[in-house]
Chains A and B, each alone.
Chain A
Amino acid sequence: MNKILNNKKAIFIFVFPAMLLFTIAVILPIIISTYYSLLDWNGIGKSTFIGIKNYTTLFVNNTDGFIKSVQNSFILAILSVVIQLPLALVLALILARGIKGEGFFRTVYFIPVIISTVVIGQLFMKIYNPDYGMLNIILKNIGLSKYENAWLADTKTALFATFVPIVWQYIGYHMLLMYAAIKSVSEDIYEAAKIDGASAFTMATKITIPLIKPILQVCTVFAVVGSFKSFDLIYILTNGGPLHASEVPSTIMYSTIFNKYMYGYGSAMSTFIIVECLVFTLIIYRLFKEKKIKEA
């Protein structure tokens, strides 16, 4: 058997195409992107090597709103962790402990995840429309007409208006992951607890949640990193506007590269996003590790 499994030619044939494609389309671009971030280049003419000057422009006395966009992405990350995850957890707990129609609800809650962001974006644009949008009409009908607003056009509300569909769409995704983890917890523990007189709430908090910590960690990483990378919905709903009120790093990066043709500067932004995601993945990993040790 070993002789066959050692067959170098076969190994090459099996792995090389994938590796080649992956290197060209993923690894190489990242390396190139990091290199570009050290240049001053408009994409057509010559490029000048300027070292870390792009990064200093980004973070020291920044005037083009990048720091604010990073703050916005942090707000989204916090909202995701504080709203999305608890909601998903509650739903997962209810469904996983057994209730009629479990399969139906599980399927339905996941549907927003598979819908194109373009569709969701257009939908919410219609909901937010100041004249005929669902939101203002509902407010009017229940007598809260004074709260009507041009949600996406008002600099004060635009940012949070874009966050609502983002948070809404992925609740079902996190719920499903948590649901799976809860399902894998052995029933015996619950039965023993029931005999000892534990209530459903105690069982959830003292048994279920501690036992699904690994998946909670995964969900937290997804939610936080996903918020930092968030692009589609904001691009569709406001494209960072009005007046840059709802910019996030990826929308600024996109307009810097493709509208302003500042390839080097934009690459610095994208490199920052990668590093940011890596750093926070490690931070979250560390946070959860400490909790595990504390408990042991």
Chain B
Amino acid sequence: MGEVKGHRIKRELFSKMNFGYTRKKMNTKSIILFILLLTVTIIQLYPLIWLLLVSFKDNAEIFGGNVLGLPRVWRISNYMSALTSGNVGKYLVNSVIVTGSTIIISSILIATSSYAITRMKWKFSKLTLIIFLLGMMVPIHSTLLPLFLILRQLHILNTYMALIIPYVAFALPMGIFVMTSFLEGIPKELEEAACVDGCNIYQIFYKIVLPLLKPSLATVAIFTYLSSWNELMFANTFLNDPKFATLPVGIMSMAGQHATDWGPILAGLVIATLPSILLYIPLSNQVQKSLMTGAVKG
């Protein structure tokens, strides 16, 4: 006990004594670090900034006139034509429909199964959890062919369901992982109090537990969004009809047609990226917090 006190006194004296000195030293070091971090920032961000600038240029500038600099004329027409004749508007709508449905359906399934696994008492709860968690290790390409054949048998290839079903299924493991850890951190008192008041299980879940799950639901929604919005392999294989194509597929086909007009294609790329960035920046703290809690618990 005496040692701890001694240590604490030492610490206070130390910080008071060296306050001025360490402050100065910190400054030069931190400036160098700062410059380093800024350089990395540029490396991380420049491709995107370049993409944004290039999307406003025309072919002449892109192909040699003005590759690295600011556009001479800000051609919003690139965006207009991308959205209309380039069909990017349609791709955007399809992506929103697919990803939106995936998030809604998977959130419901994840919430209910996580609650049953953590709170309810049944023989196979642990086993079920392990089965779902093992799913996190499965590389999705290994299910590509059988899923393709199953979906073809069910005649739902080339529809939205062809993507929503696999996306939801693959969102379950990570979502259940996150939500079960979250639920274990919530005290059971509230549910027990509701039980005393005479609620049945459905009411307990819906009225008490669900509101408490909001942060975790947000986390799960973010993970699900990330895995479905940008998904390429399934989207490319299960949807051949351009009517239903999502952004990744649609833009790939736009670019693959040896189009001569690159401006609108690049504008399409920006449009595909914008929602992710616009959603990410305000939610960035939440996203980072969720990844961090998920990782540290894991």
- Report whether over half of chain A's contact residues are helix, strand or loop; otherwise say mixed: helix
Residues of A contacting B202 with CB < 8 Å? Answer: 10
With known contacts A8-B122, A19-B128, A26-B135, A14–B116 Cβ distance under 8 A: yes
- The number of residue pairs between A and B whose CB atoms lie closer than 8 Å in the complex comes to 268
Number of chain A interface residues as a range: 35 or more
Interface: A143 (CB within 8 A): no
Binary CB contact string for chain B from 50 to 70 against chain A (1 if under 8 A, 0 otherwise): 110010000000111001100
Q: Are A218 and B295 in contact (CB under 8 A)?
A: yes
| A64-72, A148-156, A175-183, A287-295: which lies at the interface | A175-183
Interface: A54 (CB within 8 A): no
Could you say which of A10, A181, A274 contacts B295, with CB atoms under 8 Å apart?
Answer: A181
- Report whether over half of chain B's contact residues are helix, strand or loop; otherwise say mixed: helix
Interface size of B in residues (CB-CB distance below 8 Å): 96
Residues of A contacting B298 with CB < 8 Å? Answer: 218
Residues of A contacting B212 with CB < 8 Å? Answer: none
Residues of B contacting A266 with CB < 8 Å? Answer: 145
Q: 8 Å CB contacts to B: which residues of A150-179?
A: 168, 171-173, 176-177, 179
With known contacts A36-B146, A108-B45, A18–B109 Cβ distance under 8 A: yes
Could you say which of B30, B143, B168 contacts A21, with CB atoms under 8 Å apart?
Answer: B168
Give min CB distance, A248 to chain B, whole Å. Answer: 11
With known contacts A10-B201, A29-B150, A137-B68, A263–B145 Cβ distance under 8 A: yes
Q: Are B44 and A172 in contact (CB under 8 A)?
A: yes
Q: Are A281 and B137 in contact (CB under 8 A)?
A: yes
CA of A32 to CA of B201, assembled, Å: 38
Most buried by B among A4, A8, A258, A278: A4
Residues of B contacting A131 with CB < 8 Å? Answer: 63-64
List 7 contacting pairs A-B, 8 Å CB cutoff, sorted by A.
A14-B120, A33-B145, A116-B232, A117-B230, A137-B67, A180-B295, A231-B232
Interface: B187 (CB within 8 A): no
With known contacts A111-B44, A117-B230, A277–B288 Cβ distance under 8 A: no
Residues of A contacting B272 with CB < 8 Å? Answer: 116, 118-119
Residues of B contacting A273 with CB < 8 Å? Answer: 139, 141-142
Give min CB distance, B203 to chain A, whole Å. Answer: 10
Interface: B41 (CB within 8 A): yes
Q: 8 Å CB contacts to B: which residues of A211-243?
A: 215, 218, 225, 228-229, 231-232, 235-236
Report the 4 A-B pairs with minimum CB-CB distance, sorted nearest first.
A180-B292, A25-B169, A29-B146, A29-B143
Residues of B contacting A117 with CB < 8 Å? Answer: 230, 232, 248
Could you say which of B141, B149, B176, B291 contacts A229, with CB atoms under 8 Å apart?
Answer: B141
| B79-87, B213-221, B273-281: which lies at the interface | B273-281
Q: Are A33 and B109 in contact (CB under 8 A)?
A: no
Residues of B contacting A257 with CB < 8 Å? Answer: 144-145
